[in-house]
Structure 1
Amino acid sequence: MTRRGLMGAAMALPLASPALAQSFPSRPIRIVIGFPPGGGIDILARLMAPHMGASLGQPVVVENRPGANGLVATQAVAQGDADGHAIFFGTTGNLAVNPVLYPTMPVDVLRDFAPLSHVASLAFVMVVNPQVPARTLAEFIALAKSQPGKLNFASSGNGGLPHLSGELLNAAAGIQTVHVPYRGSAPAFTDVIAGQCQFMFDALAIAQPHIESGRVRALATTGPGKLAALPDLPVAKDTVPGFEVTNWYGMSLRAGTPAAIINRLHRDVAAALAVPEVARRAADLGLDLVGSSPDAFATFQRAEIDRWGIVVRRANITAS
């Protein structure tokens, strides 16, 4: 493009954006998720969608596009139109871990996305096989230090946040435990219950039935504070300073989406999260609703990429 053409395009942008924003939305809006139906992020999206649709005057539909650790869904939005009609709804793994785990990803989440909102956070719980002779996290750390390399932790998959939680505990507590990856949470729990692995980290909604049945014992929550569902469960960072893990959900739009559309959608997201029924159902899932501003989410996301990048590099984790 010639210099005159570039100047003309630049001059047209301030005019085009308001016109696009005034006609928004002109068709149904898609919330694109890189996971199958039924998970926590999918449930939350389906709770929010009708309230957002009522405010926007267009249907808001949830589109599940699982595959390649969320990359299929990520690309679908990152390579689409920058008009606000497709929202990527991702997790810590999609928006903070994958960028450092897959350095040659075809999508750069900082370059190709415009942050919309940090929607919610979900603390994990640390559980152990009941035969492990540790009733507290401090006792578990002492046990691990007395047997370096002898304790195994299961996870739902290599490079996932449950895996990184174990590696972060190793670093923060100065212990050596061995990671054993599985294809999902269910087989990981099966082997912790059977004693093939001694401990693991996962979401409360997945772990709670096993905790209540006594098949595993909860030692701590990884979040910033107590869990409403397990108010007597200690907070891990009170024993191991610096050890805090939350699996967060965030919404992003295609880079280049006009600011007026970003701000409009942020208001609709925040309003949906404030609906009492949405808040109640989210609490049942163990979710802490956030609804931060686009700027606050951008700052938070960059910090999370830096933080998990340190863990990935220190533990020499590679995608597999």
Structure 2
Amino acid sequence: MHKSRPFPFRHLAWAFAAAAVAGSASAENYPDKPIRMVVAFAPAGGTDIVARLVAPRMAELLGQSVVVENRAGAGGVIGTENVAKAAPDGYTTLMATMGNLAVNPYLYSMRVDVQRDLKPVSKVVEVQFALLVHPSVPAKTLREFIDLAKSRPGHLTYSSSGIGGGPHLAGELFDSLAGTKLTHVPYKGSGQSLSDLIGGQVSASFDSLLQALPYVRDGRLRALAILGSERSPLLPDVPTVAEAGVPGYEFTNWYGLVAPAGTPQPVVEKLNGAVRQVLGQPDIRKKLEDMGARVVGDTPDAFASFIGAENKKWEKVIRAAKITAQ
């Protein structure tokens, strides 16, 4: 009968030490090839705009290209799943939104768990939204818009980037608190949604100032109210929805960078440092603020806590409004 031999713990210790050294060396040399920054929506939308501002400056700091790749479809699910299933080596990231990380889990049957399978890097910006109307809509104030909507329920339409996206949720929340019944017209991306609003195919949109502000300034769109808790310094004469007669209404969208779960912490920290340095650059900060964004740049842990709180908030809204993906 053979006696069992003692496990060679010194060999195990050596293996762990070797792995730690290799991991450290890998993080130290990171990045040594281009990094993919996935945008889970079509080009020209708010997420795409932020990604294409941040990516080139991150590339300068990291010494490797940061390539923005649009992987649109299923309200952002396709791009999100693509990143969650990618190798956790720091070479695939996602410029995510509230929709990707806090809404879609309650609308779609996703093949990943965003809080388990993605690693937060940093919240990038918070973006102010506004209730925008085409100039042909006979309403110059929010009160006139509400009265018009109530006089003909379902007649006024509003566009969005897709079912369950930020603009859609903003519209559902508005209907609920204002007592209106607007008709939702979902598009495949915010670029198409905004284009048809400018063209007059729809009456209104609850959209980001990030992309809509130039059209408000040149008169092709009219801003009736700001959706957040404070007025925008870019449109100081436009009241908030709450100020204009819908108490309790508040909506703000946000964008942040995430990576696949399991990405080494030193790599996450290097990405976080690059994001925060980019956001600290005066010209980038000014460009974002001029488009209606509030620059953030926080720690991975702070962003993770924020994502958890947002999931609780929007799960309640979605369940109450009975929103389902189609």
| TM-score of Structure 1 vs Structure 2, range by shorter chain | 0.7 to 0.9
Q: Distance in 2 between matches of 1:266 and 1:314?
A: 36
Q: Equivalent residue for 2:278?
A: 272
Write the mapping of 1:67-78 to structure 2, written as runs, cut at 5 A.
67-78=73-84
Unaligned runs of at least 5 residues, structure 1: none
Separation in 1, partners of 2:288, 2:196: 29
Residues 226 and 232 in structure 2, CA contact (< 8 A), matched pair in contact too: yes
Answer yes or no: is the 8 Å Cα contact 1:40–1:285 preserved in 2: no
Could you tell me whether the CA contact under 8 Å between 1:95 and 1:301 is conserved in 2? Answer: yes
For 1:27-42, what aligned pairs fall within 5 Å after superposition? 27-42=33-48
CA contact (8 A) 1:31 1:89 kept: yes
- C-alpha displacement of 1:75: 2.4
The count of aligned residue pairs is 312
| Range with bigger deviation, 239-248 or 297-306 | 239-248
- What is the 5 A alignment of 1:1-320? 12=16, 15=20, 17-102=23-108, 104-130=109-135, 134-141=139-146, 144=149, 151-184=156-189, 198-208=203-213, 210-212=215-217, 214-238=219-243, 239-320=245-326
Q: What is the percentage of aligned positions where both structures have the same residue?
A: 48
One-letter amino acid of the counterpart of residue 95, structure 1: L
Provide the alpha-carbon RMSD of the alignment: 3.1
| Cα 1:230–1:28 shift into 2, 3 Å | same
Contact 2:42–2:191 under 8 Å retained in 1: no
Structure 1 residues 201 and 53, CA gap change in structure 2 (3 angstroms):
same
Report SS of the residue matched to 1:257. coil
Q: 1:30, 1:61 within 8 Å by CA — same for their partners in 2?
A: yes
Give the direction of change, closer, same or farther, for the CA distance of 1:190–1:58 in structure 2 (3 Å limit).
closer
Structure 2 contact 128–252 (Cα < 8 Å) conserved: yes
For residues 179 and 52 of structure 1, do their structure 2 counterparts lie closer, same or farther at Cα, with a shift above 3 Å needed?
closer
The normalised TM-score by structure 1 is 0.83
After superposition, give the CA deviation of every residue in 1:194-246 in whole Å (9 maximum; x if it has no partner): 87754321122543455345454321111332223312111223343432222
Q: Within 2, Cα distance between the matches of 1:50 and 1:192?
A: 31
Tell me by how many angstroms 1:310 deviates: 2.0
What is the CA-CA distance between 1:27 and the residue it aligns to? 2.3
Contact 2:42-2:188 at 8 Å conserved across structures = no
Q: Deviations over 1:248-277 (max 9, x none)?
A: 111111111222221221111100111112
| Distance (whole Å) between structure 2 residues aligned to residue 118 and residue 63 of structure 1 | 19
Q: Aligned equivalents of 1:271 and 1:187: distance in 2?
A: 32
Measured in 2, the distance between the counterparts of 1:196 and 1:50 equals 35
Q: Would the aligned equivalents of 2:135 and 2:221 in 1 still touch at CA under 8 Å?
A: yes
What's the CA shift string for 1:15-64, capped at 9, x where partnerless? 26434323322322221222344433333323323332333233322223
Give the TM-score of the pair, scaled to structure 2: 0.82
Instruction: Mark the CA change 1:48 to 1:127 in structure 2 (over 3 Å): closer, same or farther.
Output: closer
